[in-house]
Amino acid sequence: MNIYPEFISYGRQSIDEDDIQAVVETLRSPLLTQGPKVIEFEQAVADYVGAKYAVAFCNGTAALHGACYAAGIGQGDEVITTPLTFAASANCVRYVGGTVVFADIDERTYNIDPQEIRKSITSRTKAIIPVDFTGQPVDMDVIMDIAKEHNLIVIEDGAHSLGAEYKGKKVGSLADMTMFSFHPVKPVTTAEGGVIVTDSEEYYKRLLRFRSHGIEATDYATTQGSWYYEMTDLGYNYRMTDLQAALGLSQLKKLDCFLERRREIATIYTKELSKITGVRVPEQLEGTTSGWHLYMIQHERANRKQVFDAMRVANIGVHVHYIPVYWHPYYQQLGYRRGLCPVAEHWYEKAMTLPLHQALSTTQINYILDNLKNNI
Ligand SMILES: *Cc1c(COP(=O)(O)O)cnc(C)c1O
């Protein structure tokens, strides 16, 4: 078989002329940051997902940091999350001094298992950070019930799931706070960027303060003079620029189209890969519509490294998401040990990500499928 001439990456952005125009217009405008575009973008994201408030950040990790701050997580607090995620879902807890507790996954959906969340709760548990891994929403009704029962805050990591639905509702309208990322491999992009959506005015105000040095406008301004402001807490400069927001506004218009194509490709993959013995295709929780950020297969018997290397030689950007977070040296040094979440660890050893994004052509999809069939 001829090798495909370009590297087919597992995920990538789609930028059109109108995206470029949107950024150029903002470049010509008086304000490159703290202008009107960020506010417009926040409103558009909030409207799209059905949340009251949105606060944009310079990236998704900063947004998660903000959410942990807004939730009041600190030293001595435990926060439960999944080991099968990008490290940022756990790192944000460490930024504010909290302790990460990893709960195992459900091997069918790859998402955190609500029963494992239940088992991990102690008197110190303060919050849960469920991750909609691969774009498939977690079982939010069950998770919100557990949270209510134990008075916990739920921060959903929706980095993969912008536009995904759970029982007819968009992700972003379900948890106390939800984070979306706009990194170029994510559903839509602002180059770097992130957002927290919430219905809570209190969280909203704390997020705004945290994003901009811990500074807020105060009533004193009326007596002191209009230059006056106060820094009331130690915040950061985590702001998104108007250039990013302009790109985000333009990208958001295409999100539904992108998602439609991602779902089409996932359907083709599932149909074709189900025919190969030994290949396990991703199962979907009833009542959910995935955003299909990632398409991941498992094979119990194949030598993953061999298959992976053969695919890479063929210019196919297969990947593996993710190394269990607590396997990383940083978490090992904190005392987490291998074997903590056996289901996730077993899953990780067998899993492989296939390329999936809106710009994949039918030729590329067939090429990927043919190569997989030949190599597995
Ligand atoms: C991408 C990602 C993040 C972090 O987002 P950035 O915008 O890259 O900082 C967090 N969690 C998950 C699951 C992600 O995939």
| E strand or H helix at 82 | none
Check whether residue 282 and residue 167 sit in a common domain.
no
Spacing, Cα 129 to ligand 1 middle (Å): 13
Query: Considering 188, 218, 252, which residue would you say is the last residue of a domain?
Result: 252
Count of structural domains within the chain: 2
Query: Considering 204, 225, 252, which residue would you say is the last residue of a domain?
Result: 252
Single-letter amino acid code for the residue at 291: G
Q: Which atom of ligand 1 is nearest to the CA of 62?
A: 9
The beta-strand segments (E) located in the chain are 53-57, 78-81, 99-102, 125-129, 153-157, 165-166, 169-170, 177-181, 194-198, 215-216, 230-231, 279-280, 288-289, 295-299, 351-354
Residue 88 contacts by C-beta under 8 Å, 6 or more apart in sequence?
A: 60, 61, 64, 159
Query: Ligand 1 pocket: which of 157, 179, 320 to mutate (most atoms <8 Å of CB)?
Result: 157
Average pLDDT of every residue of the chain:
96
CATH number of 317's domain: 3.90.1150.10
SS3 annotation, 171-188 = CCCCCCEEEEECCCCCCC
Q: Which of 186, 254, 275, 350 is catalytic?
A: 186
Query: Roughly what angle, to the nearest 10 degrees, separates helices 362-375 and 304-313?
Result: 140
Check whether residue 185 and residue 241 sit in a common domain.
yes
Summarize the chain as % helix, strand, coil (round to 5).
Answer: 40, 15, 45
d(CA 126, CA 111): 20
Query: Considering 229, 252, 275, which residue would you say is the last residue of a domain?
Result: 252
Task: List the domain range (segments joined by +) for residue 274.
Answer: 255-375
pLDDT in tens, 11-46: 999 999 999 999 999 999 999 999 999 999 999 999
Cis omega (within 30 of 0) on the bond before 322? yes
d(CA 8, CA 293): 16
Spacing, Cα 374 to ligand 1 middle (Å): 33
pLDDT in tens, 75-120: 999 999 999 999 999 999 999 999 999 999 999 999 999 999 999 9
Structure tokens at 261: 């194509």
Check whether residue 192 and residue 262 sit in a common domain.
no
186 catalytic? Reply is yes
pLDDT at residue number 221: 66
pLDDT in tens, 204-252: 999 999 999 999 877 776 777 888 889 999 999 999 999 999 999 999 9
